[in-house]
């Protein structure tokens, strides 16, 4: 990909994010009981979805990497994991900001909140395994193995904590009776989701590029060290 395509990607991402911001603050109606603070919902939910997407990519890329052994997939998994941690951190930051005025508490140990926190811990551990491995090649394999297990763990963690106790509202979308969004809110959520997906893709592409360049620089450095002095 040449440089202009990166520029195009960033420009497109910027446009979508601006549109989403406009819709969130100007177009979407104010929620009747929660008021203005509910607008954080669009960022909160979009970040949560993107973090799941990112962790799914980590798991899938990990499986392909273990099967083929090609380092591109490992690099993809590494980039996606970093972004996943970024977005899940966003979820954990926007959640309490919204919860304090609405639930009158920053945090509750309910199924979704606890699962998000466990998820955050799992993927921070994932990044640590990668970074702290003695041998980088084995580190990539450890990370792939841990990424697969971590992702499989998510539904089980969620299920078990849900049985334990729950307070978080059931899913607004397809969450059964009493759930549902006003059409304008729905449009805004979809726009926010699209913008965040684009942001994820843009960051993933740029991050991938940076890591590839760093790898190339590293191997060039090693090659020059091996060359005998003239």
Partner 1 sequence: MNFIQPIRSILLKDLLLEWRNKDILVSMLVFSLTVVVIFNFVFEPGSAEMQATVPGILWVVFIFASQLGLSRSYAREQENGLMHGLLLCPVDRSLIFTAKALGNLLFILLVEVVTLPVMTVLFDLQFHHQWPRLLLVLGLGAWGFATVGTLFSAIAANTRSREVMLPILLFPVSVPIILASIKSTSYLLSGRNVQDIDPWVRLLIAFDVIYFVVCYLLYEYVVEE
| Site for partner 1, rule CB under 8 A | 66, 118, 121-122, 125, 128-129, 132-135, 138-139, 141-142, 144-146, 148-150, 152-153, 156-157, 159-161, 163-164
Among residues 7, 95, 104, 8, the alpha carbon closest in space to that of 51 is found at: 95
Residue 110's Cβ-side half-sphere holds a number of Cα atoms within 13 Å equal to: 15
Residue among 134 and 230 whose Cβ is closer to partner 1? 134
Q: How many CA atoms lie within 13 A of 83 on its CB side?
A: 30
**Nearest distance in Å: CB 147, partner 1:** 11
Q: Between residues 20 and 84, which has the closer beta carbon with respect to partner 1? A: 84
Rg (CA), the chain: 21
The residue written with tokens 């899913």 in the block is 171
- Residue 190 φ/ψ, nearest 5 degrees: -65, -40
Nearest Cα neighbor of 186 from 27, 73, 37, 62 is 27
| Residue 142 CB, nearest approach to partner 1 (Å) | 5
CB of 181 to partner 1, least distance (A): 31
Q: How far is the CB of 226 from partner 1 (least distance, A)?
A: 23
């Amino acid at each position: 990909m040449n440089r202009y395509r990166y520029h195009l990607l960033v420009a497109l991402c910027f446009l979508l994010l601006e549109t989403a911001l406009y819709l969130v603050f100007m177009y979407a109606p104010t929620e009747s009981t929660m008021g203005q603070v509910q607008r954080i919902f669009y960022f909160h939910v979009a970040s949560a979805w993107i973090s799941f997407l990112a962790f799914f990519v980590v798991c899938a890329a990990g499986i392909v990497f273990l099967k083929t052994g090609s380092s591109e997939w490992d690099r993809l998994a590494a980039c996606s994991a970093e972004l996943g941690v970024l977005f899940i951190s966003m979820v954990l930051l926007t959640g309490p900001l919204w919860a304090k005025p609405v639930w009158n508490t920053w945090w509750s140990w309910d199924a979704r909140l606890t699962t998000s926190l466990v998820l955050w811990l799992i993927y921070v551990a994932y990044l640590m395994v990668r970074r702290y491995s003695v041998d980088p090649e084995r580190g990539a394999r450890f990370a792939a193995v841990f990424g697969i297990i971590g992702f499989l763990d998510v539904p089980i963690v969620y299920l078990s904590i849900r049985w334990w106790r729950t307070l978080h509202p059931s899913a607004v979308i397809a969450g059964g009776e009493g759930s549902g969004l006003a059409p304008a809110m729905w449009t805004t959520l979809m726009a926010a989701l699209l913008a965040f997906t684009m942001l994820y893709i843009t960051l993933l592409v740029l991050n991938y590029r940076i890591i590839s360049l760093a790898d190339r620089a590293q191997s060039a450095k090693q090659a020059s060290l091996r060359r005998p002095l003239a």
